[in-house]
Amino acid sequence: MNFGSSLRTLQNKAKITVGNGRLQSSIHQIKHLLHPHDALYHESLPVDFQPSQPYYAHQLFDEIPHRDILHYNRLLFDFSRNDRNREALYLFKGLHSAGLAVDGSTLSCALKVCGVLFDQVVGRQVQCQSLKSGFLGDVSVGTALVDMYMKTEDFEDGRGIFYEMGHKNVVSWTSLLAGYARNGLKEGVVHLINQMQMEGVKPNDFTIATVLGALADESMIEEGVQVHAMIVKNGFESTTSVCNSLICMYLKSEMVGDAEAVFDSMMVRDSVTWNIMIAGYAAMGFDLQGFEMFHKMRLAGVMMTQMVFCSGLKLCSRQRELNFTKQLHCGVVKNGYELDQNVRTAFMVTYSKCGTVDEAFKLFSTANGVQSVVTWTAMIGGFVQNDDNKEAVDLFCRMNREGVRPNHFTYSTVLASKPSSLLCQLHAQIIKADYDKVPSVATALLDAYVKTGNTIESARVFDSITEKDIVAWSAMLAGLAQIGDSEKAMEVFIQLVKEGVKPNEFTFSSVINACSSPAATVERGRQIHASAIKSGKSNALCVSSALVTMYSKRGNIESANKVFNRQEEKDIVSWNSMITGYAQHGDGKKALEVFQVMQKHELPMDDVSFIGVLTACTHAGLVEEGEKYFNIMIKDYHIDPTIEHYSCMVDLYSRAGMFEKATDIMKGMPFLASTTMWRTLLAACRVHRNLELGKLSAEKLISLQPNDSAAYVLLSNIHAVAGNWQERAKVRKLMDERKVKKEAGCSWIEVKNRIYSFLAGDVSHPFSDLVYAKLDELRIKLKDMGYQPDTNYVLHDVEDEHKEAILSQHSERLAVAYGLIALPPGADIQIVKNLRICGDCHNVIELISLIEERVLIVRDSNRFHHFKGGVCSCGGYW
């Protein structure tokens, strides 16, 4: 047996015995064989000895009695190849301290290690040594210097070194191209590769892959097509790695057909090829094509890698495909990847998205103490996605107890669990960990404060974000929309536009929701709608649904219907908004028509759909229809009635004067009667003059909400209508004793993008004289039409003449009079009132719509009233 074969035999023995604890025995055998001839170390190691265990190599190196630069180089290369860069750097420093003369191979390897470690300080020292030892002109050293500077983000020095090099090879050019790509100078990449070929250097497959990767990241598809032609010209179209880069570029540019053409033309495909196609389909949402490609890969007998399994799991998570996920799990176990952290995390995410969070937690719990921050975050996210917020917060606390340090993804995830009780503590921890300036964390924190209703703190967080992305702007707008602060929302939106931030569909949705507030001007909503159209976002589902809601709430049901009909895609929110819109506008017939279309097309319905239908029946007085749809909801759609549904039924029966049925509902439901129910019943008792039930309702309501003025006022009004002035006085006295203030009636009108408010008998408006003059003019015309004031709506024990004066100065009449003065002839007049419109004012406004030939829209606390030609849309039933 010659020496080489003996060494190979012992090397194989060493590899085998490492796992069995007999490494020292093998080393001893090698030492015994080599000891008589020290020079054999020098000759044998580079030829046959390429150990897979760096520790083993280092031990052998330490046993060599006489070392030269070749021995150092071999170990240096071995450390570098095995990603033990820090040890490689220490070895190089030791070599330097030993005073050994280095060569170009030593210096180039040391520079490569500096690049990987991002250590420019040591890199510059190596450069000085290269200059001192005369190796700066060596092409491998120069190339390594270019690579080192590019990786340590010193682009100018790297480029300077490149152009000072006397001789450049393809590796040198590739290093420069990679530097351009890494530093975002994508435009220069194509120019460089053309210059490279003009100088007679032919690109290799690594060069082409570098160029294509740069162009793919920036979607520079025109330049990419030029490089594709270059690939064909240079004969690289059959090189697998080059084709992989081409496919990746085309998929990132969403040119699926071209990517598929390259894929189909390949003679040899590796696992990377298949994974790029599957991952590309997943990224673009082409899930079915992704599954089909995965199936073809299995039929082709290609070995499944961890990355392929992760891409397949991404498809499963998007489609909530649990069965295929379980099949993949079996495949992972079969291939021995079940302990791979990336694969395990991908399974946790997929199981969570499929709704089987227990399976995800089993995987997490069986990780045997090797959970990383990534797996903790994935599990917390799984609980959040499945609305198990308590478990998410508990797991986060356990993560802290076990000493795992959260990262910015962890904080963003746990903040989505609405941790109201821990929010301040989390905020403090985020500041301490220096993550408060990270945009994703700051935005999640902002959103968490918004959802807890803490707008002051959310505004502080928003102002503290130095680089606000569109998500932060949208979150702030959503918070302002939530509290109905339309004015501030518009200020934020205008500031967003001024700073050059491009609104997305969620931004528009949030600001449109803010414009739905009664305090917002109608014109603002129209302006935002126009802006959404201009930016091409108006057809986005969340935007169009928000527009339907906004126009409905602002009294323009016709515009809401137009937007609804133009929607290319309608979700349940769109349908519910339209049903609720018609219900609030008193058009029960159209609301039910929309619902029936949903039934006809077998569209999904939820509890909100039926709340809208029941509300429509309530406002239109359709008692039988309301009963029918309530039963359909329970029997046909298997939706358990909530307290909101029962409230609608109580309202339906109460308005119709069917008090026995209303009280039966309240007694038979599995909930305690809410304040809304008692208030509804009390209001109906006032209309139908049911004194006894009214007293009971008032007592119940006062016991539940002793500081709510509505109960006292309604009970007081019932006594006043019945002429029980002493009882009314007692109620008023009780209000005074408990310091309960009656909410004053107030009406608003928008004129020239400005909101004007009026109280009863208000004289504070600058045009009060003109307003009251207009009311006097209308009083004469009303009398000519046969109008007689209904003084029953004045609930004060005063003379009838005084009652008429009180009626004529109600806030809604003042607002109507101002609208007639300030708005152009023929323009619709829209008014919002905080309380229920009184019956006499309702009659007067009907007549004014006929006298003035105007459309008047009044939104009171219950619904919309559309007055036109002397008739109201409510039909006198409200």
Strand partners, 830: 857
Give me the pLDDT at residue 370, please.
65
3-class DSSP state of 746: strand
Let me know: does 296 contact 329? Beta carbons within 8 Å. Answer: no
Compute the average pLDDT of residues 268-280.
92
Taking only the tens place, the pLDDT of each residue in 820-848 is: 999 999 999 999 998 889 888 999 999 99
The CATH-assigned architecture of domain 468-569 is Alpha Horseshoe (1.25)
Residue-wise pLDDT tens digits, 90-118 = 888 877 777 778 888 888 888 888 888 88
Give how far the C-alpha of residue 46 lies from the chain's centroid of Cα atoms, to the nearest Å.
56
How far apart are alpha carbons 187 and 326 in whole angstroms? 45
Query: Quick one: 580 exposed, middle or buried, by C-beta within 10 A (0-12, 13-18, 19+)?
Result: buried
Choose among 617, 556, 610: nearest CA to 590: 617
pLDDT in the model for residue 8: 40
d(CA 465, CA 473): 10
What is the rounded distance in angstroms from the CA atom of residue 878 to the CA atom of residue 875? 8
Say how many CA atoms lie within 13 Å of 670 toward its Cβ.
3
Yes or no: say if 823 and 741 are a contact pair by the CB < 8 Å rule.
no
Q: How far apart, in Å, are the Cα atoms of 727 and each of 230, 706, 733, 742?
A: 97, 18, 10, 17
% of the chain at pLDDT higher than 90: 42
| pLDDT of 460 strictly over 70 | yes
Tokens representing 403? 């000493």
User: What's the Cα-to-Cα distance from 747 to each of 155, 817, 862, rounded to whole Å?
Assistant: 66, 12, 14
Distance (Å, rounded) from C-alpha 60 to C-alpha 56? 6
3-state secondary structure of 857: strand
Q: Is 42 buried (19+), middle (13-18) or exposed (0-12) by CB count in 10 A?
A: middle
pLDDT of residue 829: 95
Least confident of 117-121, 322-326, 649-653, 790-794: 790-794
Give the whole-angstrom CA distance, residue 654 versus residue 682.
9
End-to-end Cα separation, the chain, in angstroms: 108
| Lowest-pLDDT range of 204-218, 434-448, 459-473 | 204-218
Sheet holding 829-833, edge to edge: 754-759, 746-751, 829-833, 856-859, 864-868, 871-872
**Virtual CA dihedral for 682, 683, 688, 691, nearest 10 degrees?**
30
Of the candidates 823, 811, 809, 801, the residue with the CA atom closest to the CA atom of residue 772: 809
Domain ranges, ordered by start, for the chain: 388-466, 468-569, 578-673, 678-743, 748-872
The pLDDT value recorded for residue 58 is: 52
Residue 43 is predicted with a pLDDT of 37
Beta-carbon contacts of 554 under 8 Å, excluding residues fewer than 6 positions away, are: 515, 516, 520, 522, 525, 830
Q: How far is CA 425 from CA 290, 419, 428, 436, in A?
A: 43, 10, 5, 13
Contact 143, 169 (CB under 8 A): yes
Give the phi and the psi of residue 85 in degrees, each rounded to 5: -70, -35
Q: Tell me if 186 sits within 8 A of 178, measured CB to CB.
A: no
Taking only the tens place, the pLDDT of each residue in 554-567 is 889 999 999 999 99
pLDDT at 45 (0 to 100): 36
Q: Is the pLDDT of residue 637 over 80?
A: yes
Q: How many CB atoms lie within 10 A of CB 303?
A: 10
pLDDT value for 549: 92
Provide the CB-side half-sphere exposure for 137 (13 A, CA): 2
The answer, yes or no, to whether residue 65 has pLDDT greater than 70, is no
Contacts for 726 with CB less than 8 Å, ≥ 6 apart: none
- The CA-atom distances, in angstroms, between 726 and each of 448, 449, 694, 796, 797 are 52, 50, 17, 12, 10
Contact, 828 vs 856, CB < 8 A?
Answer: yes
Average pLDDT, integer, range 651-659: 95
Q: For the residues 460-487, what does the mean pLDDT come to? A: 87
Task: Kindly state the average pLDDT of the residues 191-217.
Answer: 80
Q: Look at residue 68 in the predicted model and tell me its pLDDT.
A: 67
* Closest by Cα among 235, 285, 228, 230 to 256: 285
Tens of pLDDT, residue by residue over 352-369, are 999 999 999 999 988 766
Radius of gyration of the chain (CA): 39
Whole-number pLDDT of residue 803: 60
Answer yes or no: are the C-beta atoms of 476 and 500 closer than 8 Å: no
Which DSSP string do the residues of 400-458 spell out, in sequence order? HHTTPPP-HHHHHHHHTT--TTTHHHHHHHHHHTT-TTSHHHHHHHHHHHHHTT-HHHH
- pLDDT of residue 32 exceeding 50: no
pLDDT of amino acid 814: 95
- Residue 453 predicted with pLDDT over 50: yes
Across 92-106, 229-243, 507-521, 662-676, the highest mean pLDDT is recorded for 662-676
What are the distances in angstroms from CA 448 to CA 430, 445, 486? 13, 5, 20
CA dist list (Å): 119 to 107, 140, 183: 15, 19, 17
Give the pLDDT of residue 14: 37
Q: Provide, rounded to the nearest whole percent, the portion of the chain with pLDDT above 70.
A: 89
